[in-house]
Amino acid sequence: MNVSRILSILPLLIFTNEVYSQPKINFILGTGYYNPKIETSSPIPKIGFVGKNLLLNWGARYEIYPNVRIGYTQSHSLHSGTIGNDKSNYLRNIAYRSISFETFFYIREKMEMNFTLAPMINKGSITITAKAPTNDWDALLETYGNSSVSLKTGSSMTTRWMGFSSHVGYRYYISRLLSFEGKLGYFMSSYNEKNWKLEGKDVAGPPMKIGRLPVFQVNLVIGL
C-alpha cells in the first residue's frame, strides 16, 4: 500500500475509532425548563420559578447497536412550602418518566447530534405532613423516663397518566467518559385532574394544562 493511499484512509480510521470508542452506558444528570399552567389558588403555597418552570433530570442510556441507544429517564417538577394554620409541610412532585429510543450520529469529532422518541408513564403526587401530638406515645414513653414527643403524620394523593416525548439534541464530548448535552423537544400528556386517588378513594387534583409543552434540557453525561 503506497503512502498516498494510507493518508487518504487515515481520517476514516481515526473517525471510526472515535465512534466505536464511545461508552456503552451513559448516566445523565441535569436540569430543564418548561412552562406549564398549574392552578395554585389558596391554600396552596405561592409558586415561583423553581416550582413551576424548573425540571430536575436523571437517567441512564445504553447503546444496543451502533448509533442506537435505549434508556430510562425521569424529569421532576417539585413545589414545596407550608400550608394551613398548622403550617403543615406541602410537597408536590410531577415525575415525567420515559423509556427512550435514541439515534445519533457524529457531525464531527467530539460533536454528536441525536434524536429521541419516548413513550411516558408519568406520576403526580401531593404529600402533606404535620407534626402532631401523640398522647398515647407520651404516656408510654414517660413510664420509661422520656419526655413528650411529636411525630410526623400525613398522607399522599397520587395519579398516573400516559404521555409521549420527542427531542432533538446536541452532545459535546469533553473526554470519552464525560460530555454535555442540550435537548429541545416536547412533552405531550393525557393528564386528567379527576383521576387522583387518596387512600384508595377517587379525588380531584390540581388543574394543569400540560397537554403539549416545549421543553429545554441541559445534562451532564457520564459514560462507563
pLDDT of residue 16: 43
pLDDT of residue 5: 53
Contact 84, 63 (CB under 8 A): no
* Strand extents, DSSP E, 22-177: 25-33, 37-38, 54-65, 68-83, 88-108, 111-133, 150-175
Residue owning grid cell 441525536:
114
pLDDT of residue 13: 43
pLDDT of residue 21: 55
Share above pLDDT 90 across residues of the chain, in percent, rounded to a whole number:
67
For the cut 90, the answer to whether the pLDDT of residue 123 exceeds it is yes
Eight-state DSSP code of residue 43: T
Across the chain, what does the average pLDDT equal? Answer: 88
Question: Would you kindly state where each structural domain of the chain is located, as residue ranges?
Answer: 15-175+189-223
pLDDT tens readout for residues 130-160: 887 777 777 777 878 877 777 788 889 999 9
pLDDT of residue 138: 77
Q: Which residue type, as a one-letter code, is found at position 134?
A: T
Report the pLDDT averaged over residues 92-104: 97
